[in-house]
Amino acid sequence: MDYSNPSEPQNPGYVPPQPPTYIPPQQPPPPHHHPDNHNHHKSHSGWKIFWGIITVLSVIVNIFLFLMLMGMAVIAFSGRGERKFIEEVIQKGPVTTKIAIVSIDGIIDDQQARDVYWQLKTAREDKTVKAVIIKIDSPGGTISGSDEINNEIQRYRSESNEPVVAFMQAIAASGGYYSAVACDHIIAEPTTITGSIGVIMEYLVLQQLLEEKLGIQPVIVKAGAKKDWPNPFQKPTDEQLQYLQDRIIQPAYNRFVKIVIDGRKELDESNVRRLADGSIYWADEALKEKLIDEIGYLKDAVAKAKSLANIKNAQVIEYRRPFSFTDILSSKTNLKIDRRTLYETAVPQALYLWTGPQ
């Protein structure tokens, strides 16, 4: 039987058409990462980070230089070494009538004395200031610093003809009291420690430490038998101690007594010398002994200043040193050791200082 399709031509060489074959699209070959190209990319990123750091550092350096130039300009235009103070209002009142508060805070030294000088100078040049309150919280300090402050207060009183009230806070002892007696009136808080009228000198004898422990032998070349008295490298003799007592301690003590006698008219010399044995006094005892005039607080000092100045209303201000970039540029670390620090540490100093717990 013939099963061939009669519609198809009977051609022995005929090949029937085939359906199209599906060819999937070819994926592009993965890129070939050459090791050199990878290293080049990392190197390029490293340079970007490096230049970024350089840019940031450059900006910081330029800001610092700008601030330094500004600080130098401030020094040039305001006067080198001059200390400017700003006013902080403590109690509101008429701006044409002021009571200025001048602060003595901490150990009294040359720096403290200069600060008081500039505060009083600011008050003296301000014609609206009608009275001054000296606010004291100090155990005293150097003899010269205490004496300079006392002198500046007296100078202010004589040149301005305005009243000055001392207001004692926690401690106003020794050099702190030395400063207070220059004022017209002294008010102390109920818990104030004051007094300590006297002089003290302390120093260390380093001979045994240097020679026996460290094997260091100090060498001193001098002309004059007493040139190195007192000598921290040798134990003092009785003669040397008496020499210090006669030449330094006693004159400084007599000066302190005279200052108290001049400042406290209520006390004669015998009473001052009786009190001037270095003793400290609580406020109520100091009042009883007439070392102070009144016990009270700041509001009482303000009221007394108004009364002495014969004014009813006043704006109470306190002088404060403003922050400036020059303080940053000229700041000194407490850990800095220079020739002056070594000198002050090694050389004994006579002080108007209460060395008790504070």
Catalytic residue, chosen from 48, 84, 226, 227, is 227
For 108, the 3-state DSSP assignment is strand
Alpha-helical segments (H) within the chain: 35-78, 110-125, 143-160, 175-180, 207-208, 238-244, 250-263, 269-275, 283-288, 298-309, 325-329, 339-346
Mean pLDDT for the chain overall: 83
Closest CA to 173 of 288, 287, 281: 281
Q: Are 162 and 132 in contact (CB under 8 A)?
A: yes
Rounded CA-CA distance 336/267 in Å is 45
Give residue 333's pLDDT.
46
The one-letter amino acid code at 105 reads D
- Give Cα 187 to chain centroid, integer Å: 27
pLDDT tens digits along 51-98: 777 787 777 877 777 766 665 555 444 444 455 788 999 999 999 999
pLDDT tens digits along 229-250: 887 778 889 998 999 999 999 9
Task: Decide if pLDDT at 341 tops 90.
Answer: no
Give catalytic status of residue 331 as yes or no: no
Give residue 79's pLDDT.
45
Q: Exposed e or buried b for every residue in 88-111, given b needs 16+ CB within 10 A?
A: eebeebeeebbbbbbbbeebbbee
Task: Decide if pLDDT at 349 tops 50.
Answer: yes
Give catalytic status of residue 279 as yes or no: no
94 phi, psi to nearest 5 deg:
-65, 130
Q: Exposed e or buried b for every residue in 167-191, given b needs 16+ CB within 10 A?
A: bbbebbbbbbbbbbbbbbbbbbbee
Closest CA to 165 of 122, 123, 132: 132
Task: Decide if pLDDT at 125 tops 80.
Answer: yes
Q: What percent of the chain has pLDDT over 90?
A: 56
Give residue 356's pLDDT.
81
Catalytic residue, chosen from 174, 179, 304, 306, is 174
82 phi, psi to nearest 5 deg:
-80, 135
Cis peptide bond N-terminal to 230, omega within 30: yes
Of the pLDDT bands very low, low, confident and very high (cuts 50, 70, 90), residue 252 is very high
Give residue 8's pLDDT.
47
β pairing state of 349-353 and 200-202? antiparallel
Give residue 115's pLDDT.
96
Question: Where do the structural domains in the chain lie, given as residue ranges?
Answer: 86-201+276-340
pLDDT tens digits along 155-200: 999 999 999 999 999 999 999 999 999 999 999 999 999 999 999 9
Q: Which CATH architecture has domain 86-201+276-340?
A: Alpha-Beta Complex (3.90)
Model pTM above 0.85: no
For 315, the 3-state DSSP assignment is strand
Check residues 279 and 13 and name the one with the higher pLDDT.
279
